């Protein structure tokens, strides 16, 4: 069986990370960061390595030229190596947005944004950067893209930073709590796989309209509000939301806030088969920030996304989306 470019790259990431993991006595993910830095700088950065280890690495690197691979092959192989490193000991906040979801959101963002010469995009919960880099790859060949990623977890943001460097993407990263003040100008597009749960910083939460007077605020509600604040008028926001977002006790307040600030463009429920636990199932919420002269759609785009392997059902859904655009855009 012929080996694919992605498999070739993954083997290189895996082999070199394994060498560095052993030599530096670190975790696999930390070693993956190190090998990514070596590839980006075209030089072995770890001075403490012995000559034998350096020679082993140099032989592995010499067999690969990243310039001969597509950005999608680089992204997929790097993220596959991250998945290997996360397997078995993943923390609750160390979750990657599945590729299938990234593909769907990339298609939708492309449809809603249309043709333009430049694009600014922000992910306030960037994690390993998989969702953001997938979308950037969609637009990079057609327009100038400037991206911003925010992440509180140091390991995740390092992985995202190295990945962006390998892909030569213009992404600026901020290592901070995304619900504190952001020094990012309003952007054309926000994408986020929303962190779901309670936000423990009640003092900071009190600065938001969606805070709670009794108990901790919902972090995912605050992320929505923060994202809307940092969107341009008429800008789009694509969120991965829990299916029960509008069923909680705080949902009426959230609904009122959205009614005052954005137009709901669409809600697409993702197939349950994507998620290991059906209680963790999610949908894609599409918003557009209000702007003078801008009208809401005649009707909200509502759809259930079938399995991506079901070509007939996918074609039918795509046709429905095309019809919606003709009637509402």
Tens of pLDDT, residues 67-113: 899 999 999 999 999 999 988 555 555 566 778 888 899 999 999 99
Q: Which domain holds residue 59?
A: 5-86
Residue 197: CB partners within 8 Å, gap ≥ 6? Answer: 218, 219, 220
Residues 194, 232 within the same domain: yes
Do 36 and 162 contact (CB within 8 A), yes or no? yes
Compute the distance between CA of residue 74 and CA of residue 103 in angstroms, rounded to an integer: 16
For residue 11, is it within any domain? yes
Which residues make beta-bridge pairs with 287? 237, 264
- Domain termination residue (choose one: 29, 56, 86): 86
Residues 175, 303 within the same domain: yes
Residues 226, 261 within the same domain: yes
For helices 28-41 and 51-62, the axis angle rounded to 10 degrees is 70
Residues 233, 147 within the same domain: yes
For residue 297, is it within any domain? yes
Look at residue 91 in the predicted model and tell me its pLDDT: 56
- Torsion angle of C-alpha atoms 281, 284, 290, 291, degrees rounded to 10: 160
CATH code, domain with 71: 1.10.150.470
Residues 317, 221 within the same domain: yes
* pLDDT tens sequence across 218-249: 999 999 999 999 999 999 999 999 998 998 88
For residue 14, is it within any domain? yes
Look at residue 88 in the predicted model and tell me its pLDDT: 56
Compute the distance between CA of residue 117 and CA of residue 107 in angstroms, rounded to an integer: 18
For residue 324, is it within any domain? yes
Compute the distance between CA of residue 324 and CA of residue 302 in angstroms, rounded to an integer: 10
Q: What is the 3-state secondary structure (H, E, C) of the chain?
A: CCCCHHHHHHHHHHHHHHHHHHHHCCCHHHHHHHHHHHHHHCCCCCCCCCHHHHHHHHHHHHCCCHHHCCHHHHHHHHHHHHHHHHCCCCCCCCCCCCHHHHHHHHHHHHHHHCCCCEEEEEECCCCCCHHHHHHHHHHCCCCEEEEEEEECCHHHHHHHHHHHHHCCCCEEEEECCCCCCCCCCCEEEEEEECCCCEECCHHHHCCCCCCCCCCCEEHHHHHHHHHHHCEEEEEEEEEEEECCHHHCCCHHHHHHHHHHHEEEEEEEECCHHHCCCHHHCEEEEEEEECCCCCCCCCCCEEEECCCCCCHHHHHHHHHHHHHHHHHHC
Residues 52, 115 within the same domain: no
CATH code, domain with 149: 3.40.50.150
Residues 308, 199 within the same domain: yes
Low-confidence ranges of the chain (pLDDT < 70): 1, 88-96
- Domain termination residue (choose one: 56, 86, 116): 86
For residue 77, is it within any domain? yes
| Pairing between β-strand 262-269 and β-strand 171-175 as defined by DSSP bridges | unpaired
Model pTM score: 0.93
Structural tokens at position 223: 């992320």
Residues 182, 233 within the same domain: yes
Structural tokens at position 137: 């790859």
- Domain termination residue (choose one: 86, 107, 137): 86
For residue 91, is it within any domain? no
Residues 74, 193 within the same domain: no
Residues 77, 198 within the same domain: no
The number of distinct structural domains making up the chain is 2
For residue 94, is it within any domain? no
Residues 111, 229 within the same domain: yes
Residues 219, 170 within the same domain: yes
Exposed, middle or buried, 196 (CB in 10 Å: 0-12/13-18/19+)? Answer: middle
Compute the distance between CA of residue 166 and CA of residue 291 in angstroms, rounded to an integer: 37
Look at residue 95 in the predicted model and tell me its pLDDT: 64
For residue 288, is it within any domain? yes
Exposed, middle or buried, 80 (CB in 10 Å: 0-12/13-18/19+)? Answer: middle
């Amino acid at each position: 069986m012929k080996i694919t470019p992605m498999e070739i790259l993954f083997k290189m990431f895996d082999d070199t990370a394994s060498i560095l993991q052993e030599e530096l006595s670190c975790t696999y993910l930390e070693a993956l960061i190190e090998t990514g830095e070596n590839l980006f700088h075209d030089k072995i950065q770890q001075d403490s390595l012995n000559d034998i280890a350096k020679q082993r690495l140099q032989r592995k690197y010499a067999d690969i030229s990243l310039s001969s691979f597509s950005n999608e092959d680089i992204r997929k192989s790097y993220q596959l190596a991250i998945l290997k490193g996360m397997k078995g000991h993943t923390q609750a906040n160390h979750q990657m947005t599945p590729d299938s979801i990234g593909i769907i959101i990339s298609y939708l963002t492309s449809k809603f944004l249309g043709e333009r010469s430049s694009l600014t995009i922000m992910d306030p919960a960037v994690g390993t950067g998989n969702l953001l880099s997938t979308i950037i790859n969609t637009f990079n060949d057609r327009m100038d893209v400037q991206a911003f990623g925010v992440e509180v977890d140091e390991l995740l943001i390092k992985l995202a930073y190295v990945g962006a460097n390998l892909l030569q993407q213009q992404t600026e990263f901020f290592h901070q709590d995304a619900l504190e003040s952001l020094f990012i100008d309003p952007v054309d597009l926000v994408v986020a796989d929303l962190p779901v749960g309670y936000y423990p910083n009640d003092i900071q939460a009190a600065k938001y309209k969606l805070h709670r007077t009794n108990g901790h605020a919902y972090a995912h509600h605050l992320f929505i509000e923060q994202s809307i604040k940092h969107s341009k008028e008429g800008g789009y926001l694509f969120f991965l939301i829990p299916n029960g977002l509008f069923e909680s006790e705080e949902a009426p307040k959230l609904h009122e806030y959205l009614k005052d600030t954005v137009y709901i463009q669409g809600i697409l429920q993702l197939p349950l088969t994507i998620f290991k636990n059906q209680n963790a199932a999610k949908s894609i919420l599409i918003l557009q920030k209000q702007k003078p002269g801008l009208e809401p759609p005649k009707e909200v785009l509502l759809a259930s996304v079938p399995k991506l392997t079901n070509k007939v059902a996918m074609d039918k859904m795509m046709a429905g989306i095309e019809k919606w655009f003709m009637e509402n855009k």
